Structure 1
Amino acid sequence: MSSEKIAKSGFLIRKKLAVLFLFSSVAVFAQQGKEVSGKITNNKQAPVPNATVKEEGTENSVTTDAEGNFIIKLLKDQSSLSVENEGFQSQIIPVNNRSFISVPLKEEKTKSIEQIVLVGYGSVKKSDLTGSVNTLSTDKIIERNTTSALEGIQGSMPGVQITSNSGRVGDGFKMTIRGNNSLISSGNPLYVVDGVPTDNIDFLNPQDIARMDILKDASSAAIYGSRGASGVVLVTTKNGATVKSGVSVSLETSYGVRTAARLPKMMSGEEWWRFHQAAYLSANPMTQTPAQLATLAGNQSPLLVQRANNGYNFDWYDAVLQPGSTQNHYINVSGRSEGGLGYNLSFGIQGNEGIIANDSNDKYTFKLGINHKINSKFTTGANITVARTVTEYGSDLAMRSAFSFSPLISPYAVDANGNDIPGQLFLLPGKLTYPDGSWAINKTSTINPLLEIANSRQNERVWQTLGNLFFQYQPKKWLSLKTTFSAGFSNSRLGISNTAETNVGIALNRLNSASVGKTENFNYTWDNQIDIKHTFKDVHDVSLLLLQSIYSNEEESSYGYSNGQPFNSEFYNLGFGLQSSYQL
């Protein structure tokens, strides 16, 4: 073969190799720098927002929008994409030169919100929990449709006792965890609402609560120190972390009637008269006639004897008690924007009327929670709750006094014939006199409960605001760094007034009296934490929490009292009282 032919053959071979190498290069590097879009859905074909789509072997990742869509620009050739989201099984999908990928995620069957328990500043799987903790979801808290969160969970947890403080609607409820363990302290648990310590949670609207975790033993509450000696109640309000895409608006309203239940059966007038005469039996009762007993029992009380003989019977239950009511109006707006910003906004109005007059509680609440997953590593959010409560406590003695009165005694004045004068209340029904001043009944000196109710007032107004702001960075799935600033502010004013026609007024020689107490509190907590949770070979779990916490609490209070006001100005003019009675 000639050298010319050999040269041409070599040239043709090199040319073919060059062309082959060129096409091979195109095939190898076609994926690098390519944009791939896709859609992530669940097993019901609904979009999955905030899912993390990551290019395997790199730090290149994006987050799906509210409709589950994503666009990612590949950095490597022959790439695969991993898809992860809380509550779903992770998947790795090869790209294979595709420009659009649809990924249906399967729900994780072994994980659920009930299996995660909040403990102090972290959370653990319920199966790994060594302490005693109870968790209540929002459905459990609101299923009884009450205006108090504690009332709604009465009897729901072992070892936790919830009782009414007094029966008045504004007095709230008391929680005792595993019995009282101190002779000095109140035994109340520490309440922590969205990271803010509070004395109670009566100001919260139950429908704003997402979950409640009760830490019942020392090991669970140890991180709170002596403040958690009587247990800790962690309250998490609703925020924007779990809301769905789009906008959801809900409106709930309800009205109910409350009545006194399980009241003891009182004696009739006839039964009480026989019982009362027994107090006058002598050492030799067989020597006493019924007429002698009646004379002794009715000494200076002719009207009492007259009523007993005539079958008189006054119903003190009916005089003091009234039907109460409860109403709840709640509107909620929640959703998630295309940029991944989740929000939960609500406004509530709750009202309670007690079963005695001048006993009421009105509560107005505003709640805003937002959460923004900036990307697969950065998350931020904020919560704020504002509540205003106006409470009329009414009398704390009237019911007790009414139930101790004889059914032969009424609250009204009488005419010369001993007939009741409806609407004309007598100050001391047990010391009743006829219009001429002579005794009609000369027994107990208890104040007329209806006058006690009408002339005593305890009014409390409370503003309560609390919230938090957090920023979280999660460079690895097992490593999280979080900083949270929480703050709470409360301002309360309690005004008490009693006229001369009350128990307090009688004790002051029939003088009016009034007092005003004000309290203002501000506290803040700044927490910085590093949370490490890693599983090795699917068997060994390692959990480590590093925490720095700064807590500050400031409280100011003032008090003023006076008596001897010339007229009933309630608690608005303490300066009208006698100077010698001033207390500050």
Structure 2
Amino acid sequence: MYSFGVFAQNVNVTGLVTDTRGEPLIGVTIQVQGTAHGTVTDFDGKYLIPAVPADAILEVSYVGMKSETINVNGRSVIDITLEEDTGVLEEVVVVGYGIQKKASVTAAISTVDTKDLKQSSAPNLSTALAGRLPGLTAIQTSGQPGNDAVNLYLRGVGTLNDASPLILIDGVPRSNISRIDPNEVESISILKDASATAVFGVRGANGVVMITTRRGQPGKSELSISVDHSLQGFLVKADRLHSWEFAELRNQAYLNDHPGADEADMPYTQYMIDKYRSGEDPVFYPDRDVFHDYFRDWAPQTRVNANFNGGGERFTYFLNVGYIGQGGNFKTEPKSFLGYDPSYSMDRYNFRGNVDYNIASNLKASLNIATYLEKMNTPQTQDLFSNSVAGMVQNMIAYTWATPPTDPGPTTQPGYGIPVNEIVAQSGQDRNTYGEINRRGYREEMSNNLNSSLTLDWGLDFITKGLSAKGMIAFDSHASTVLQGVRSLDTYGFNVARSADETSSYTAIITNSDSAIRLSKGMNTRYYVNYQASLNYARAFGGHNV
């Protein structure tokens, strides 16, 4: 018996790799597909791969060039020509002095585009940048709807003074990044090194954040509509402790400090503990879930956007309309009961129109107009918490932890000879945060931002090719109005029976308060005008760009 084996013959493959102009390419990677067997071209663009199967496939790759796959087909000499990958070489980034090809940028620049930003449901654009740009730190200092302030730092904090980066929106210094709709944004670039100070001087010492908004594209008009709904909740919640558990633990703590104490001296008697456990008297022996008296588990957020863009050879446009509505996690009484709304909420409307018009072959005009209307609502702070909403929130959270689940409340109940639905003070206090956020009034803040700019870009190729002049005037305004309604409220305390021989009751602390609302209003308006003029030069000389 005889057997015959047929084996594919291996060949040594050599050749020359060049670009479309015939110039040798150094460092091109050539690898046998599916293996680690390969090489790179030398200083003359030549390569040699020994022992290559005759039916193998070569993979050829080089930065800035289109990758190729080539069948060997038994050949020993294979010359390769690579084409430029224009999608990579022509990709541009916004730098401080204009737009530049990404391949020619040597500064420390990072960029994020609209697609990445829209993946986040954050209502604040600054928050959406967190983790998306290397070197950028975004620290959110509040979760209040409409006031979720974010501190931005580039490469850490570089000074004891203001360490915030300079923010440019379409080339104009602006600070209202938190109100921008992500659907308006084309890209965001950050300058992190000396290139920031080279262009902007000391103002760029902490880095520069450059936001470029979207513009219309020639061709068929496009309409895009999106609706997003999300829910927000606390990362940490207070653990539920039942009233009888709290009473038993409180007694145990008392015994630890006072060994051998009588039941009459303890904070809670066995009679009271049995009442809490049985639930037969939920008014004076409640099992309160204090956390959910003040907070709800989830707060809704709705975002709606519609944008329209298109145009022809001479005229292009981009129009955007957006809305975001954000509710708060704090429970408040309804407007139908109080006559006013003390809830935490925010409603924001965004409008933008970017228009470009080619007046002549070398003269282009661009008009940007954007406005942001925002309404924020909270309980009043004028007579409370040093006029600080943050102080109010801290107080609410502290009272959530400090209010025992055995406390009656938060409002009086019928059948005890006093007005119903009046505020019950926390044990040991003459007040209750529940009453202060609901019954003391409301705060309503309306703000309106206008950002506008007119730009003329004049090509001066008739003087020398690549020369152009650019002029811009920008007008911004900000107006805010704060309306506060303030009122007083009655407050009652309580006496809880410690035995069957005693009677539980409410006691008056503050009564006959004036429940009429006192209104106050404050207004603030600011205007800002910015003028810019520049002479630009950009030209390609062979394979070089200036």
1:485 maps to: 473
1:328 deviates by 2.0
Question: Residue 533 of structure 1 aligns with which residue?
Answer: 538
8 Å contact kept, 1:382–1:469: yes
111, 121, 133: which one aligns with 1:135: 111
Q: What is the one-letter code of the residue matched to 2:176?
A: N
Amino acid at match of 1:288: G
8 A contact 1:189–1:230 mirrored in 2: yes
Contact kept? 2:348, 2:373, Cα under 8 Å: yes
Deviations 1:59-81 (A, max 9, x none): xxxxxxxxxxxxxxxxxxxxxxx
Residues 414 and 360 from structure 1, CA distance in 2 versus in 1: closer, same or farther, beyond 3 angstroms? closer
2:244, 2:276 within 8 Å by CA — same for their partners in 1?
no
Bigger Rg, which one: 1
Matched, 1:110 2:83: no
- The number of residues matched between the two structures is 412
The CA deviation at 1:475 is 3.1
Q: What CA deviation, in whole Å up to 9, does each residue of 1:160-182 have, x standing for no partner? A: 33233322111123132144444
Q: Within the alignment, does 1:330 sit opposite 2:305 as a pair?
A: yes
Correspondent of 1:288 among 247, 260, 282: 260
| 2:451 is the alignment partner of 1:466 | yes
Cα distance in 2 for partners of 1:446, 1:304 equals 25
Equivalent position amino acid for 1:448 in 2: T
TM-score by length of structure 2 reads: 0.65
| CA distances 1:499-533 after superposition (whole Å, capped 9, x unpaired) | 22499xx99x9787665332211111111111223
Gaps of 5+ in 1: 1-105, 431-442, 543-584
Percent of aligned pairs sharing the same letter: 21
> For residue 426 of structure 1, what is the amino acid of its counterpart?
I
**2:437 counterpart SS class:** helix
Using a 3 Å threshold, how does the CA distance of structure 1 residues 308 and 386 change in structure 2: closer, same or farther? same
> For 1:422 and 1:272, how far apart are their aligned partners in 2?
30
Q: Which amino acid aligns with 2:93?
A: V
Q: Distance in 2 between matches of 1:313 and 1:198?
A: 52
Q: Which residue of 2 aligns with 1:153?
A: 129
2:403 is aligned to 405
Q: Is the 8 A contact 1:193 1:237 kept in 2?
A: yes
Q: Does the 8 Å CA contact 1:203/1:388 hold for their aligned counterparts?
A: no
Residues 1:129 and 1:190: Cα distance change in structure 2 (over 3 Å): same
1:184-218 Cα deviation digits (max 9, x unpaired): 44x44332222332233222222111111233345
Secondary structure class of the residue paired with 1:202: helix
- Following superposition, the deviation at residue 260 of structure 1 comes to 3.3
1:245 aligns with 2:243: no
Q: Which residue of 2 aligns with 1:549?
A: none
Q: Give the match's secondary structure for 2:421.
A: strand
The CA distance in 2 between the partners of 1:220 and 1:203, in whole Å, is 24
Equivalent of 1:263 in 237, 240, 244: 237
Q: Does 1:426 align with 2:432?
A: no
Q: Secondary structure at the match of 1:424?
A: coil
> 2:314 maps to what in 1?
340
Q: TM-score, length-normalised on structure 1? A: 0.61
Displacement of 1:391 in angstroms is 1.0
Asked if the contact 1:132/1:220 (under 8 Å) is kept, the reply is no
Return the letter of the residue paired with 1:364.
Y
SS at match of 2:88: coil
Instruction: State the Cα deviation string for residues 324-381 of structure 1 (Å, max 9, x = none).
Output: 22222222221113x4211111222221122224111111121111112345532221
> Hey, what's the Cα distance between the residues in 1 that align with 2:85 and 2:369?
32
What does 1:432-471 align with in structure 2 at a 5 Å threshold? 443-471=428-456
Aligned-partner SS, 1:409: coil
Aligned letter for 2:459?
A: Q
> Aligned partner of 1:488: which letter?
D
In the alignment, the residues of structure 2 paired with residue 524 and residue 282 of structure 1 have an alpha-carbon distance, to the nearest angstrom, of: 69
Map 1:49-448 onto structure 2 (within 5 A).
108-113=86-91, 116-177=92-153, 178-185=155-162, 187-217=163-193, 219-221=195-197, 223-240=199-216, 243-273=217-247, 276-277=250-251, 280=254, 287-289=259-261, 291-292=262-263, 295-298=265-268, 307=276, 312-322=286-296, 323-337=298-312, 339-356=313-330, 357=332, 358-394=343-379, 396=389, 397=392, 399-400=396-397, 401-413=399-411, 424-430=421-427, 443-448=428-433
